[in-house]
Structure 1
Amino acid sequence: MADAELPLALSVGDPSGVGPDIAIAAWQARDSAGVPSFYLLADPALIAARAHRLGTDIAIAETTPALAPGVFSRALPVVALAARFVDSPGRPDPANAAGIIEAIDRAVADCLAGRAAAVVTCPIAKKPLYDAGFRFPGHTEYLAHLASLHTGTEVTPVMLLAGPDLRTVPVTIHIALAEVPKELTTDLIVATGRITAADLANRFGIAKPRLAVAGLNPHAGEGGTMGTEDERIVRPAVDRLRQEGIDAFGPLPADTLFHARARAGYDVALCMYHDQALIPAKALAFDEAVNVTLGLPFVRTSPDHGTAFDIAGKGIARAGSLIAALKLARVLADTGKRP
């Protein structure tokens, strides 16, 4: 099967959240929203039960990745997991951890084996997984672990939030804010900048990506009067990136980095911590922004929101971000290339 004909592999995420809801809604919008062919890695019985709970009369076809494109127009293709799920919308259950992880594992394996064009993941919640023994900080780090296992090569993952008007990258990701100054290093910023520049060129087709590098402290430290990290850590990283031919500039005050005129001057904002990157991305395009993991040997995207346990199974979850993630995954898989 040619790459352009391969379906996308969609992992269901935490079934107690909105993953099943938005997967069903995305399939229903396949024609109106131009959703590309995908198959859902899930427990078929739970998907049928969730569709019934949502009052949605849809056809569900238990299938294989190879056969999924042929049934996509008439039924939601579901590739069955070995694990079975507890059907408890709004109430996360550690008993579902095995199936949640299996769905991710199999999506990655399918993509690396040439059975899927890209990996798209519905949201997971960390605490139920931690309660079941999962020891990775989040999706991003676990995907890097799987990529390293499959390829035998160490992989450094980089989280990119991509919306219609803004791309942001957090250098540090799923750690407490108090730990950021301890974990932030010049080498980490340089490595993140390199991967970001390479994937924006090779996956997104931006020939000479412009990287605006945010400062860690208010006013980017204001010459060391509000913390010394920007001069000691961030500025040397910018200098090294520029020496390598990467169009990076900063450190820049984060409070003036995200308005429209500022955004016109760069292709991505390299931010020093999670919320510095994700707050502007979600504020500008909550229903359209997509989480993309850079640095992997395969394309991975996901919605930019969480499990939303409080609205699971109620028929009010919006599928816009998942639809955007599916469409972007298709574009990146079809047009992107690795160096």
Structure 2
Amino acid sequence: MSEHGHGAGHGHGAGGHSGHAHGVAADADRRWLAIALTLITVFMAAEVVVGVVASSLALISDAAHMLTDAVSIVLALIAMRLAARPARGGFTYGLKRAEILSAQANGLTLLLLGVWLAYEAVRRLIEPPEVQGGLMLVTALAGIAVNVAATWCISRANRASLNVEGAYQHILNDLFAFIGTAIAALIVVLTGFARADAIATLVVVALMAKAGYGLLRDSGRIFLEAAPADVDPDLLGDTLVGRPAVIEVHDLHVWEITSGQPALSAHVLVDPDGDCHAVRRDLEALLRRDYGITHTTLQVDHVAESMLQVTRPGERTDGPGHCEEPHGPAHRDEPHPH
């Protein structure tokens, strides 16, 4: 007796409830992101002008970093609106992964901009230009204040979203970069060592590379349908097959629809005398309690029924003959005969 339909319905019901709560939180997220965007955009425009006047590549690189911050917030706001649309037509999950597209574009932009800034910094290390340290120092200190305010705003939003976390990490890194620029400016003022400006730029580049790589790695895992980073599918399969009446778990898939929304599907074979409904409820409760997975689709069958339905003449009935192309390992409760 198959429990596929019932299991799917239960999963969607749980997911729907949490989706309503997320919708309420998303409004607050958008408000905090919009405030941070305003702060960053206004200061960024001023910093570009001052950077050109002071001939400071560190200030210009900070402004470029702030541009990626602003773009990341704009993309985050657009993606949040797209993700909030209900599922319809061919998009059976809706547009929830628009947030992951935003995070990936954000990470790629950081890396490409970092390459250009690294080239410019090395060139200035070789031939350092005249740098106005005083103007650079005042601007960097103002940048620290603006980034502290923007970081605080975004920290108030829901950082479980890779989209929001990406914007938060950008601005936090930018805060560290401004601190580095202020130190470099102080060195220029006190010692006249103009190369400190280019060195500070390379520090900014390192932070950009780290943030960009992290965003590409995390968003790439979601696009490739990898299991959430904190879930080991093999251990999870062994845990499920260890539950009462469960004989085998195969075709086990764990993935994330979008950041913070894990999903799971599996084919579960139970003892011929087992209660399929009770087993499904037990497994769903375990997944919800121990793994935070509420979107589940479990097909639960009696082991003897399943084998008899798909076994062809001359085929063994003690092996995994129930799937033409098994996906991944089959987890079996060894003490039970198959």
Same fold (TM over 0.5): no
More strand by share: 1
- Greater relative CO (CA pairs within 8 A, separation 6+): 1
Larger Rg belongs to: 2
More helix by share: 2
